[in-house]
Structure 1
Amino acid sequence: MSQPRQRMKQTRSLEERMAEQAAKLKEQASQMPAGAERESLLRRARIAEVDMHLSDWGSVPRPAAAEMIQSSLELLVKIQADLTELRQLALELPPATAGIVEMFADQMEAYARLIDQIA
C-alpha cells in the first residue's frame, strides 16, 4: 500500500518565491568570475523571472487575457512600422552609426518575433 502524499501549505505566493530565487541566483552570479557557470546562474535567474510573470498570465481572467493579446498584437504592428522607419532613417546616417542602428533594429525585430510567437 502506498503512503499518503505529504502536503505543504505555502505561506508565500509563487511570485514571491520566484522573485526570491531570482535574487539569490543573481547574487550568486555576481560573486563569480565570468564564465559558463556564471552564465548558467544568470540564465536560471531569468527563467525564474519569466516564470514569475507567466504565473500572472495564468491568474488573468479569459476576457482580460484576450484583450491583453489583442493589445500585444496591436503593439507588435506599431513596433514593426517603427522598425521600418528606423531602417529608412539609418540609410541617411554615417556607416558606423547606421550599423549600430541596424543592430538595434535587428534586436528589436527579434523581440517582436518572440511577442508574435507568444500571442
Structure 2
Amino acid sequence: MPRAILEETHIHAAIRDKVAQQHHDIVAEVSAAVERNAVVVVGMGMNPMCKKARKALDAAGQAHAYLEYGNYFNTWRRRNALKMWTGWATFPMVFVKGTLVGGAQELEALLASGAFKTLLK
C-alpha cells in the first residue's frame, strides 16, 4: 500500500514553491549522503536509539556515515522535513544502499537475521 501524500493539485498554486522549498537543504544533504555511502544513519543528539544503531553497526564492523541534526531542544522543524520526506516518524533513520530500512530496532533485526549482508550486495 503506497503512503498517502497530498497531491500537488490539491496544494494552492500560491504556496507550492514554499511547500517544495521548506527545509529543502536538509533533505538534499541527506539524499546526497545516501547516494554516496552504502550505509547512512541520520540521527539527533541525546537520542539513545541513534547511539544504539551506531553501536550495532560498529559491532558488526560496518562502516557508515552519520548525520546528526540537533537534539530534543532544537532543530525539530528541520528534522520534521526529513520525517515528511521519508514517512519515517522517528530517529534514527537508517539507509542501506539507498533504501530506508527503519530505525535501530529494524537494523538490529536485519543484522541478527543476516539480511543486512544481503542488502549490502
TM-score (normalizing by structure 1): 0.29
Q: Which of 1 and 2 has greater Rg?
A: 1
* Structure with the larger RCO, 1 or 2 (CA within 8 Å, 6+ apart): 2
Which has the larger helix fraction? 1
Which has the larger strand fraction? 2
TM-score (normalizing by structure 2): 0.28
